[in-house]
Amino acid sequence: MTYICLMLVEKANQIYEEAKAAIKSAPDSKTLYNVKVNFLGKQGQLSALMREMVQLPKEERPEFGKLVNEKKQNLENHYESREQELKKLELQQLIENEKLDLTLPGPDRDLGKIHPIAKVIDDISSILNFLGYSVQTGPLIEKDWFNFEALNIPQDHPARDEQDTFYIDETHVLRTHTSPVQIHTMLKQSPPFRAIAPGPVFRCDSDVSHSPNFHQIEALLIDKNVSMADLKGTIAFFVREFFGPEIKTRFRPSFFPFTEPSAEVDCSCPICKGKGCRMCKNSGWIEIGGSGLVNPKVLEQANIDPKEWQGFAFGFGIERMAIIKYGVPDIRLFSDNDIRFLSQF
Ligand code: DAH
């Protein structure tokens, strides 16, 4: 054997041992594949060795070629068995990693909350329920007659302009206030009775303190010998219960077609306790709604004899009450559905 052939055989053995060790110790399929490319690939070390064969005398070439091919075949066998081994191992690892731990705590679920407007309606209703008022409802698409006529607001009455109305057709509107429920209740029940009607109302109006869709609560009491003193006592009690015992009530003479006499209701500002702040425009007082003794004309429309029965009524804005109680700066926050705002209540 020529010296050069000895050298090449030696080199073949070296490459073989190195490759065998690398195959055996490859920790994963990717490394194993790289080992294959490095030793057995077209540009790999064994192919390079084959190309060196030209240095050998012709008679030594077949023997040497055979030797290298045997080693190559041998390494390929090693490669395949290691590949199988690693595949099994990796599958096992995958199964291991994907195993469900049923004892782990579940992902956090955000709990829903009552919307602040619904909460205020609930709170107001429960105070008035305590005073014997039961909840009544009426349609949101209201006949013009219930929303206006029966409440002593005839066609062309200026009070209609104050309530920018969404008209459905000539005889139907989206109710502009909860007062029409007074009429539904009087037509349904015979006196004496006490009723409240919370719910949505609609006006064509929108800015920081006005929303086209807001909520009111109406209260109506029909009985004998009802006076302004009953109305004032009821509202003062209600305001103290809702806002706190230190909150005062003030009545200002006003006009509503469906009450006579009429009064607007203010409460002392719960934010600054009457000292004056931005919320109460430095007056110490905030308006919460309208009230009055039921106009005899309205009783007559609902077939109740005004000589025998009298009543009082009041209507408050729910958003307004929520804004005052919680110091909310913009009415639109209630309908924006921002969870950061809603979760504070
Ligand atoms: N309905 C009136 C409005 O929306 C508020 C109101 C005033 C209701 C006086 C009443 C009342 O029951 O007596 O502006």
Convert the pLDDT of each residue in 151-200 to its tens digit. Answer: 999 888 877 777 789 999 999 999 999 999 999 999 999 999 999 999 99
Mutate which of 221, 256, 264 for ligand 1? The one with the most ligand atoms within 8 Å of its CB, which is 256
Ligand 1 centre to CA of 199 (Å) is: 14
Mean pLDDT score, 24-35? 95
- Per-residue pLDDT tens for 298-341? 999 999 999 999 999 999 999 999 999 998 888 889 999 998 99
What average pLDDT does range 95-111 have in this prediction?
87
Query: Does 292 contact ligand 1 (Cβ within 6 A)?
Result: yes
Peptide bond into 158 cis (omega under 30): no
pLDDT of residue 163: 75
CA angle 304/235/119 to nearest 5° reads 105
pLDDT of amino acid 345: 87
What is the band of 149 on the pLDDT scale with cuts at 50, 70, 90?
very high
In this prediction, residues 101-114 reach a mean pLDDT of: 87
Res 311: pLDDT: 98
Question: For ligand 1, is residue 313 a contact (CB within 6 Å)?
Answer: yes
209 falls in which pLDDT band (50, 70, 90)?
Answer: confident
Q: Which atom, in ligand 1's list, is nearest to the CA of 219?
A: 12
Instruction: Say how many Å lie between the CA of residue 66 and the centre of ligand 1.
Output: 108
Which atom of ligand 1 is nearest the CA belonging to 182?
12
CA of 283 relative to ligand 1 center, distance in Å = 23
Look up the pTM and report it. Answer: 0.71
The correct CATH number of 116-342 out of 3.90.950.20, 3.40.50.720, 3.30.930.10, 3.40.50.300 is: 3.30.930.10
Is ligand 1 within 6 A of the CB of residue 315? yes
For residue 22, name the pLDDT band (cuts at 50, 70, 90). very high
Residue 91 pLDDT greater than 90, yes or no:
yes
| 217-271 residue pLDDT tens | 999 999 999 999 999 999 999 999 999 999 999 999 999 999 999 999 999 999 8
pLDDT confidence of residue 158:
78
For Cα atoms 154, 211, 121, give the angle at the middle one, nearest 5 degrees: 90
The span from the CA of 9 to the CA of 7, in Å, is 6
pLDDT over 90 (residue 131) = yes
**Which atom of ligand 1 is nearest to 294's Cα?**
13
Does the Cβ of 291 fall within 6 Å of ligand 1?
Answer: yes
Q: Is the CB of 218 under 6 A from ligand 1?
A: yes
Distance CA 122, CA 217 (A): 11
User: From CA 179, how far away is CA 231, in angstroms rounded?
Assistant: 16
Q: Is the pLDDT of residue 134 over 90?
A: yes
pLDDT digits (tens, 9 = 90+) for 313-322: 999 999 999 9
Calculate how far, in angstroms, residue 341's C-alpha sits from the geometric centre of ligand 1.
29
Length of the chain (residues): 345
User: Which range in 94-98, 193-197, 275-279 is most confidently predicted, on average pLDDT?
Assistant: 193-197
Tokens matching residue 54:
């030209």
What 3-state class would DSSP assign to 28? coil
Full DSSP string of 47-107: HHHHHGGGGS-GGGHHHHHHHHHHHHHHHHHHHHHHHHHHHHHHHHHHHHHH---TTSPPP
Q: At what angle do helices 3-25 and 61-98 cross, to 10 degrees?
A: 10
Ligand 1 atom with the shortest distance to the CA of 162: 14
Mean pLDDT throughout 203-230? Answer: 92
Residue type, 260: E
Q: Which of 179, 183, 231, 291 to mutate to test the pocket of ligand 1 (most atoms within 8 A of CB)?
A: 179
Average pLDDT of the residues of the chain: 94
Pick from 1-15, 110-124, 132-146, 155-169: least confident: 155-169
Q: How far is CA 300 from the centre of its chain?
A: 46
Q: Write down the pLDDT at residue 135.
A: 97
Domain ranges of the chain: 3-97, 116-342
Distance from C-alpha of 239 to C-alpha of 266, rounded to nearest angstrom: 10
The reported pLDDT for the residue numbered 100 is 86
Of 247, 199, 243, 249, nearest in space to 219 by CA:
199
Confidence of residue 50 (pLDDT cuts 50, 70, 90): very high
- Report the amino acid identity of residue 102: L
CA of 314 to the centre of ligand 1 (A): 6
pLDDT of residue 279: 86
Residue 259 near ligand 1, beta carbon < 6 Å:
yes
Residue pair 310/325 in contact by the 8 Å Cβ criterion: no
